[in-house]
Amino acid sequence: RLIAKKMQLTAEAEELKPFFMKEVGSHFDDFVTNLIEKSASLDNGGCALTTFSVLEGEKNNHRTKDLRAPPEQGKIFTFYYFFLYIFYLLLLSDLLVLYLIRLIMKAHSFVRENVPRVLNSAKEKSSTVPVPTVNQYLYFLFAPTLIYRDSYPSYLEGLLILLILFLGVLILFLTFFAFLHCWLNAFAEMLRFGDRMFYKDWWNSTSYSNYYRTWNVVVHDWLYYYAYKDFLWLFSKRFKSAAMLAVFAVSAIVHEYALAVCLSFFYPVLFVLFMFFGMAFNFIVNDSRKRPIWNVLMWTSLFLGIGVLLCFYSQEWYARQRCPLKNPTFLDYIQPRSWTCQYVF
């Protein structure tokens, strides 16, 4: 009914267009004719004013303006409001057409998202048919989106995502303090181990290369002596970049393996961030960067990187909980479930 009513209003507006254009033309002709007559009368008055004094001419001029101003002003305002009315009428017509297009796009999205689910349910002979409720449909009609979903993230979830940037860095600090400081120092104290250089002032780093050297000195020393030097011997000393690339690959694979075992699924977000972005930052933001702004950029990238890791891995874990498979294969173990699960949000 709403679509039929809007189409009827559009048709009526189209019928009124010739009448309005005719009225505009007649008013415009009258307006031009009045301007020509006024210009001619002003020219004749200019010749007559030469026989009077300057003061008399100014008085007559002011009197003439006072007498003629109201009709001219009324015509101009009438002409202005008429054009304004036409403008608003055309704007309303365009808005109705755009709103109709919006409804068509929403209807297409609604059908496109729900018909496959109903067909799959009928094919599998399921007892329940996943049909959206009326409240879900009405919410979708007024929501500022053209893609239908059964539910949408609220602003609280957006704030939660923002909080996860900050929580990620808090987890980084707690991990650093619990393992690199407390755990290693506890064993060093019990075993009377003298070398307590487990980390350096990585928080003051202005380059990623310095950050990698000072964040975890224990692991860095092992990678330097048994990975970097061996790869350097293998690739010869002329290919230092290749040896460093091999060290990054080994470290990224080990980190991703540890996460895959702990989470019971393979989702190589950490591998991509560490292998590509981490390696690129290591060469771009190198030791030649000494200004404090580079320290700010390093901390900003840490905030973003850890927040991205938490968001992606949490989303994948949630998708695997909401969309479990009956007989998962090895391919299902390594294939991201969040790309296919319809109930992630």
Q: What is the pLDDT of residues 288-323, one digit of tens each?
A: 777 888 888 888 888 888 888 888 888 888 888 888
Handedness of CA 255, 259, 262, 267 (dihedral sign): negative
Lowest mean pLDDT segment, chosen from 24-33, 127-136, 333-342: 24-33
Helix (H) or strand (E) holding 272: helix 269-272
Domain chopping of the chain, boundaries: 153-344
**CA-based nearest residue to 298, from 308, 310, 312, 284:** 284
The pLDDT score that the predictor gives to residue 137 is 87
- The pLDDT value recorded for residue 334 is 79
From the list 68, 86, 70, 67, the residue with the least C-alpha distance to 28 is 86
- The CA angle 294-244-264, to the nearest 5 degrees, is 90
Q: Which residues of 23-41 are buried (b: 16+ CB within 10 A; e: fewer)?
A: eeeeeeeeeeeeeeeeeee
- The answer on pLDDT for 5 being more than 70 is yes
CA atoms within 13 Å, Cβ hemisphere of 223: 19
The whole-number average pLDDT for the span 194-210 is 87
CA distance 61 to 69: 12
Query: Residue 324 has what pLDDT?
Result: 81
Q: What is the chain's mean pLDDT, rounded? A: 77
- Is the separation of the CB atoms in 252 and 263 below 8 Å? no
One-letter identity of residue 121: S
DSSP secondary-structure letter at 242? H
The catalytic residue positions are 255
- Gap between the Cα atoms of 251 and 262, Å rounded: 17
- pLDDT tens, 233-290? 887 777 788 888 888 888 888 888 888 888 888 888 888 888 888 888 888 877 777 7
Which percentage of the chain shows pLDDT scores above 70?
Answer: 74
The DSSP call for residue 274 is I
* Tokens matching residue 26: 């007649």
How confident is residue 186, by pLDDT bands cut at 50, 70 and 90?
very high
Give the pLDDT mean for 85-101: 79
| CA–CA dist 172, 116 (Å, integer) | 43
Question: Over the stretch 144-160, which tens digit does the pLDDT of each residue have?
Answer: 888 888 887 666 666 66
Backbone angles phi, psi at 74, to 5 degrees: -65, -40
Question: Alpha-carbon Rg of the chain, whole angstroms?
Answer: 38
Q: What is the pLDDT of residues 8-59, one digit of tens each?
A: 777 776 776 666 666 666 666 676 566 556 655 544 444 433 333 444 444 4
336: Cβ contacts below 8 Å, ≥ 6 apart: 267, 316, 319
Strand, helix or coil for residue 290: coil
Decide: 261 and 185 in contact? Cβ < 8 Å: no
Provide the pLDDT for residue 88. 74
- How many CB atoms neighbour CB 127 within 10 A? 6
Q: CB–CB of 282/270 below 8 Å?
A: no
Residue 95 pLDDT > 60? yes
What is the secondary structure of 97-148 as a DSSP string?
Answer: HHHHHHHHHHHHHHHHHHHHHHHHHHHTT-SS--PPPHHHHHHHHHSS-SS-
- The dihedrals phi and psi of 194, each to the nearest 5 degrees, come to -80, -30
pLDDT band at 133 (very low <50, low <70, confident <90, very high): confident
